[in-house]
Structure 1
Amino acid sequence: MPGSRGGTEPSPRAPVVVLVEDDEVIRTSVSMALERYGYRVRSAADGLTGLEMFRDHTPDLLLLDVMLPELDGIGLCRKVREISQAPILMMSARGDSLDVVSGLEAGADDYVVKPVDTPVLVARIRALLRRTTFTPASSGAERAAPGRDLLVFGDLSVDTRGLEVFRGGERVALAPTELRLLLEFAAHPGIVLDRQTLLRNVWDYGWDGDSRVVDLCVQRLRRKIGADRVETVRGFGYKLRR
């Protein structure tokens, strides 16, 4: 793959990426390229082996193809989401709309279309990994509990310091991207945020991205915090109800 840089042996503290790709040429080239960028890569050729490898290595990120033997990428993504909120980046050979939508609905955070240049792939991986590091945001929402940054929106509470979300007193488990999205909404309650703003601030896109990523992540977030909590403003974007 073009565009990789010459580098050193990955550090023992380097992020671990589990790569699941059935094409041996692609699997080998992607592994070598990511290792040159300093990542530690564990690779598998089918979905079932990839799932076992994910459980064994608890990686920082899962990179997987949509079309896989034994267990396809959609099924693998769903099974991983049952046990982990680690970032998931999917690769689609065709960029097929159905593949992309199915992957994102299954819990993937982002996707790339093959063939993909190494710098593009690495940029997406870095952006995903950055989402595990949060900066608490200020907001005009109601604050409670001295010493904590707790934002309250009806039955929804967002602890921006402890990075926890509660609905009706029950903790809500959110994937990193879902949490980043909610924090962005919570920092601007009642304000409409367009999709490109969300792609820039939540997905760390420095370029125009696929707005379907935003729409499907909003859908997943609504299922967890309440369908009426995030309002669609047609033709503009989304806003968090105060």
Structure 2
Amino acid sequence: MTKILAVEDEPDILLALRLVFERAGYQFISSTDGRSGLRMVHEEKPDLVLLDIGLPGMDGWTVLERIRDLADLPVLMISAHGQEADKVRGLRAGADDYVTKPFTNNELLARAEALLRRSGRPAEAAAGDWADFYDDGLVRINRKARAVHVNTPEGEQEVQLTNTEFRLLNVLVKHAGAVLSAQQLLTHAWDDPTGLAPDRVKFAVLRLRRKLGWDNASAAASPIKAVRGVGYRYDRPS
């Protein structure tokens, strides 16, 4: 049974979340503070985390950072504040979605189930009928093993990517030389053609570049190019 972990310190909201997800057929577990929530991520291995920002002690931002060190699982952040800066900060830090209180039960359930569907898609399904291996001399991808190696000045190194980052890299290299809009990347890498396109894609590309060691490269040297006002392009090394 799919397991949902809620890290939320408000009893009324926690009860409402339990009712929503248990009635929908999910196993629901909960924690009221960040530290115990992290322990439950490690011990219970949930399929999705509902994470409140305003937690006592260790706040939700810190918990999100630690979760990203522990596991690659979808995180839906919940906040009492709807400021754009908070939403941007959440997406930049690796949250998969962001909702503000008050929210409707149907909205929250729909968002959670969309994240579960996307995270449950194997990388092979996202890749379609692509070849199992890709190697352009700069980056090497083994899609069956879900392994990525990148050539650096220090030699070849394996890079650990999240499911979303792995799909994003695959989409970019498959369409090497072509400019893909944020909407196209959302459709192919996230399977989510609606909403939040600009920030979600922008910060995912920034994280991908950083992990591959291309964040400090000049615009001309980085193979992942931002095409202003259009989208992104992967250039194979010549």
TM over 0.5: yes
Structure 2 residue 222 is the aligned partner of structure 1 residue 239? no
Q: Is the 8 A contact 1:88 1:110 kept in 2?
A: yes
Structure 2 residue 132 is the aligned partner of structure 1 residue 149? yes
- Calculate the aligned-residue CA RMSD, in Å: 1.9
SS in 2 for 1:90: strand
Q: Give the C-alpha shift of residue 210 in structure 1.
A: 4.4
Structure 2 residue 224 is the aligned partner of structure 1 residue 230? yes
Cα distance in 2 between the residues matched to 1:87 and 1:24: 23
Equivalent position to 1:100, from 79, 84, 87: 87
Equivalent residue number for residue 185 of structure 1: 172
Structure 2 residue 196 is the aligned partner of structure 1 residue 209? yes
Equivalent residue number for residue 67 of structure 2: 80
TM-score normalised over the length of structure 2: 0.85
Residue deviations 1:87-143, cap 9 Å, x none?
21212222222222222222222222332223332332223223342312455xxxx
Equivalent residue number for residue 59 of structure 1: 46
Q: Is the 8 A contact 1:66 1:90 kept in 2?
A: yes
Instruction: Name structure 1 gaps, 5 residues minimum.
Output: 1-13, 140-147
Cα distance in 1 between the residues matched to 2:187 and 2:102: 24
Q: How many percent of aligned residue pairs carry the same amino acid?
A: 38
Q: Is the 8 A contact 1:137 1:187 kept in 2?
A: no
Q: What letter corresponds to residue 237 of structure 1 in structure 2? A: G
Q: Give the C-alpha shift of residue 29 in structure 1.
A: 0.5
Q: What letter corresponds to residue 227 of structure 2 in structure 1? A: V
Q: Is the 8 A contact 1:222 1:229 kept in 2?
A: no
* Pairing of 1:119-134 with structure 2 (within 5 A): 119-129=106-116, 130-134=118-122
Q: Give the C-alpha shift of residue 223 in structure 1.
A: 0.3
SS in 1 for 2:25: coil
Q: Give the C-alpha shift of residue 208 in structure 1.
A: 2.8
Residue deviations 1:128-176, cap 9 Å, x none?
223342312455xxxxxxxx71112332112222222111332211112
Q: Is the 8 A contact 1:199 1:211 kept in 2?
A: no
Residue deviations 1:201-228, cap 9 Å, x none?
3233253334211111111111012232
Q: Is the 8 A contact 1:109 1:177 kept in 2?
A: no
Instruction: Answer 1 or 2: which has greater helix percent.
Output: 2
Following TM superposition, the consecutive aligned residue runs of length 4 or more in structure 1 with deviations greater than 6 angstroms are none
